[in-house]
């Protein structure tokens, strides 16, 4: 397995995102560009043998808080530690940029993500009720100050 990670583009994200069945192609180039417009942000892309297989991106919520917005790994590249590598690089970057915390939201329908967040030191910090347990969002936060 030859994995390398670099900063990428919105086009890279859309290329990977389209191969993630859980996302149903809902994350368009326009939607992503609109969300990131004018904000400090980071887009990380993981490549396996020069093919993009995963991404993680986020943006500044405030001078002290970074929001880990979207990320995913295509099915054939899962269970190889790629999401963990992306998360660690994002956390390192955020810490170097002076952010004091990283926040993220997930849902009950993504149990692997919930487990990853909890096992990685993220703490539940809130809940957004969207009508059903499957569509509601669980908010997590990780303190970057030691």
- Domain range annotation of the chain: 3-143
Residue-wise burial string across 25-49, b where 16 or more C-beta atoms lie within 10 A, e elsewhere = eebeeeebeebbeeeebbbbbbbbe
| Burial classification of residue 104, based on how many CB atoms lie within 10 Å of its CB (0-12 exposed, 13-18 middle, 19 or more buried) | buried
- Name the CATH topology of 3-143: Aminopeptidase (3.40.630)
> In whole angstroms, what is the distance from residue 86 CA to residue 105 CA?
16
Give the model's pLDDT for residue 19: 93
Q: Residue 23 has what pLDDT?
A: 82
Query: Rounded to two decimals, what is the model's pTM?
Result: 0.92
Helices (H) and strands (E) in the chain, counts: 4, 7
Tens-of-pLDDT digits for all 146 residues of the chain?
Answer: 689 999 999 999 999 999 998 887 788 999 999 999 999 999 999 999 889 999 999 999 999 999 999 999 999 999 999 999 999 999 999 999 999 999 999 999 888 889 989 999 999 999 999 999 988 999 999 999 86
């Amino acid at each position: 397995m030859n994995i390398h990670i670099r900063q990428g583009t919105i086009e890279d994200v859309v290329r990977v995102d389209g191969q993630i069945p859980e996302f149903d192609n809902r994350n368009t180039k326009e939607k992503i560009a609109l969300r990131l417009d004018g904000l400090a942000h980071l887009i990380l892309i993981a490549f396996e043998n020069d093919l993009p297989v995963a991404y993680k991106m986020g943006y500044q919520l405030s001078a002290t808080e970074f929001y880990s917005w979207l990320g995913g790994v295509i099915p054939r590249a899962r269970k190889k530690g790629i999401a963990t590598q992306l998360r660690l690089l994002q956390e390192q970057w955020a810490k170097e940029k002076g952010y004091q915390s990283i926040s993220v939201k997930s849902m009950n329908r993504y149990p692997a993500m919930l487990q990853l967040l909890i096992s990685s030191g993220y703490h539940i910090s809130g809940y957004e009720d969207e009508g059903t347990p499957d569509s509601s969002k669980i908010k997590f936060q990780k303190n970057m100050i030691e």
